[in-house]
Amino acid sequence: MESTILKTEGLKAYYGETKVLRGIDIDIPRNRVTAVMGPSGCGKTTLIRCFNRMHEMVPGARIEGKIRLEGRDITSMKLIQVRRMVGMVFQKPNPFPTMSIYDNVLAGYRLSGVKLRKEEAQRIVEESLKKAALWEEVKDALHRRGTFLSGGQQQRLCIARALAVNPRLLLMDEPTSALDPKAAHRVEELISRLKETVTVVVVTHNVAQAGRVADYTAFLYLGELIEFGPTSQLFTAPQDPRTEEYLTGKFG
């Protein structure tokens, strides 16, 4: 039995009166890659935005049910603590445009008012960029702006920034959809390696990508969790006909 890092119980999410998630029960396994897939508008992004309490930032948005991170109810934790434990990488690379590569990596510390000694800051920058497979490409340009990098490099910089604060869980929302195929392939390779040090949850509408990178896959449809299990099992012997129809491209 896999160890669980995050668990939801009867999770419902609303935007005003509109119910977007309809009672999700899921156990996210530690140090594995879990893909969340399903057609547009099925609630994938809302689900992972609940995991780091970004959902509640939207006016009129709320949740019901429980989300436990390492056994603790995240609504009882300080927001800054949740965000340090649960990092997020978005669809479009978004390095801070006025900051250098170096300062982008350290942004999580600066924004939360944590002061680092110079040696410690340098160690964190180097380690984070190495984890994000970017160090060799940028080590001689750390004080140039992050926006001079290519799209794929910018996305890996955003991954380095998320990893710098040592999260337990890294959420990735369609992290390759804005990238060319070569850059997307590099990010996929990186995702497969990251699970050695962090649990990854990746939202994707790309069935083939889920098959390549994920140990576990969740299939959402119309706000419901239709099926969840080891990717190999879900792809070869889905239990629900809707999962099979989605996987074979009948809708999506």
Q: Give the pLDDT confidence score for residue 251 in this predicted structure.
A: 81
Amino acid (one-letter) located at 246: Y
Give one word for 38, left, alpha or beta, with left for phi > 0 and alpha for psi -120 to 50: left
Quick one: tokens of 37? Answer: 């897939």
Helix (H, G, I), strand (E, B) or coil at 38: coil
Q: Give the pLDDT confidence score for residue 114 in this predicted structure.
A: 92
Q: Give the pLDDT confidence score for residue 2 in this predicted structure.
A: 85
End-to-end CA distance of the chain: 32
Which residues of the chain have a pLDDT value below 50? none
Nearest CA to 189 among 142, 134, 116? 134
Amino acid (one-letter) located at 113: G
Q: Give the pLDDT confidence score for residue 86 in this predicted structure.
A: 98
Domain ranges of the chain: 4-247
Q: Give the pLDDT confidence score for residue 74 in this predicted structure.
A: 98
Nearest CA to 67 among 81, 53, 46, 83? 53
Quick one: tokens of 139? Answer: 């080590």
What strands lie across the sheet with 216-221, from one edge to the other?
A: 86-89, 169-173, 199-203, 33-37, 216-221, 224-230
Q: Give the pLDDT confidence score for residue 112 in this predicted structure.
A: 86
Q: φ, ψ for residue 198 (rounded to 5)? A: -150, 150
- What distance in Å separates the CA atoms of residue 113 and residue 1, rounded to the nearest whole number? 39
Q: Give the pLDDT confidence score for residue 1 in this predicted structure.
A: 67
- The string of pLDDT tens digits covering residues 162-175 is 999 999 999 999 99
Reported pTM = 0.97
Q: Give the pLDDT confidence score for residue 118 in this predicted structure.
A: 97
- CATH class of the 4-247 domain in this structure: alpha beta
Q: Give the pLDDT confidence score for residue 210 in this predicted structure.
A: 97
